[in-house]
Amino acid sequence: MILGTASHVGKSIITAGICRILAEQGYSVAPFKAQNMSLNSWITRDGAEIGISQAVQARAAGVEPIAEMNPILLKPKGDRASQVIILGRIHADKSAGDYYETIHSVMDVVEESYDRLSQDYEFIIIEGAGGAAEINLYDRDIVNIGVARRFKPPIILVGDIERGGVFASLYGTIQLLPEDIKTLIKGIIINKFRGDPALLTPGIEELEKLTGIPILGVLPYTKLGIPSEDSVSIGDKEPADRSVTIAVIRLAHISNFTDFEPLEEHASVRYFEPDQPLGSVDAVIIPGTKNTIDDLMELKEYGMDREIKRCAEAGIPIIGICGGYQMLTSTITDRAIESTAETHTVLQGLGLLNAETRFEEYHKYTEQVTKIVTADGPILGRVKGCKVRGYEIHMGTTSHNEEPAFGDDGCTDKRGLVIGTYLHGLFENREITNALLGFLHERKNLTYTPITRREDPYRNLTDLLHDNLAMEQIYNFLEIEETE
């Protein structure tokens, strides 16, 4: 089990790395996170919705993601409520108080999911959530204390030195853990260090002396090209200085911004708050959102709607994914399904697509899809007839009178420069990425070299762990021997 001193210390990435290492040793291995709170999610082959980190970890392990790997997913919706996903299916919108009243039945789902995985896999690598020592939640914490107490796995505790105070956070976390959980900790990892690890030696020796727990290693700060777990990661993004700039609107309830991470290697992808002017950008992306209505109202409040329309009038490509697609339409009708308001709402969209969106029933569309590019225009016309793969996660439906973009999904305006689609994972398709980046470079008279292959980020990740961690100690408490 991988626990952390706080959120965003590197639990997800380290879990993925250990999954890959064990898989390369020939073991069958599955990731497991009892409860995830994230707006970045993934759709399995059978249409179940799980946190994207468990899908990434399953990919690292070379196995197919399934709902049991993340039995409970909480998607914050605003107004102190979250959409509760149980075993990949939408359950209800609940406040924290209402959710915790049912925590015992939820734990039953967690245990059943773990038991199913244990029947099919030799190893289960468990990821905790947030900080392990949330002492106010011990009586209802199913993802850290509950899982550790129920299954008693050997635990690795991870601390993030980039945030400062790593020795205090590690020591404080250990001291605040219940005694039966504290004894399960077999090692500590210090993550995201910039500099010479030798500088940490005195602190490492003192921490080992105080806790009796070995430091397994110090991992350097590294960019790996692995999808981010949640919106906390946006703050860490450092856009590269490249010839083409793509603006992504940072919506209050932004979801699945991992859609745009494949573009970061080839363009300067910059996130703009709703009150920031866009300036001279080459393309604008409106991402998915857990709350289309409220986020659109915020764009209008701060004038971002006018900024987007200004760019569209100037011939700058505007791409809306999922909730962003819904915002591009002329009108949005919500029968108290999508927004935090409890009344019927009709809202004017951005009006850049001749289309209408309606939220009329509490139903979520979740499926993996394969579509054919059917649109013309300077971007999609380059790859018309190509197959693209992605997945849909959305409430509401959209009808349009525009040129369809991907068969029965999405549409474009008559110029082909405003594109809307429900397809997440669109830029995982090299054809689409090359079509967009090729167009953006050509209109600036720049040379663009099409992407032909992507580097395996998991290879880099396992090299990172092997080079910086005492892997033999991890093998020892997993009771396995390293193979050649």
| Interatomic CA distance for residues 376 and 391, integer angstroms | 22
DSSP classification of residue 281: -
Distances from the Cα of 211 to the Cαs of 5, 134, 174, 296, in angstroms?
Answer: 15, 19, 8, 50
| Interatomic CA distance for residues 98 and 81, integer angstroms | 9
CB-based contact 307:277 (threshold 8 Å): yes
Q: Work out the angle between the directed axes of helices 11-24 and 457-468 (0-180°, nearest 10).
A: 90
CB-based contact 292:325 (threshold 8 Å): no
CB-based contact 427:260 (threshold 8 Å): yes
CB-based contact 344:336 (threshold 8 Å): yes
Length of the chain: 484
Distances from the Cα of 331 to the Cαs of 325, 338, 368, in angstroms?
Answer: 12, 14, 27
| Interatomic CA distance for residues 151 and 146, integer angstroms | 9
Tokens 């969209």 sit on residue: 349
Catalytic, 411? Answer: no
DSSP 3-state of 65: coil
| Interatomic CA distance for residues 342 and 281, integer angstroms | 37
Torsion on CA atoms 49, 52, 57, 61, rounded to nearest 10: 50
Catalytic, 266? Answer: no
Out of 19, 311, 322, 411, pick the active-site residue.
Answer: 322
DSSP classification of residue 236: G
Give the E-state strand segments of 234-303 in sequence order. Answer: 245-249, 254-255, 268-272, 283-286, 288-289
Out of 253, 266, 424, 441, pick the active-site residue.
Answer: 424
| Interatomic CA distance for residues 349 and 357, integer angstroms | 9
Q: Which residues are catalytic?
A: 322, 424
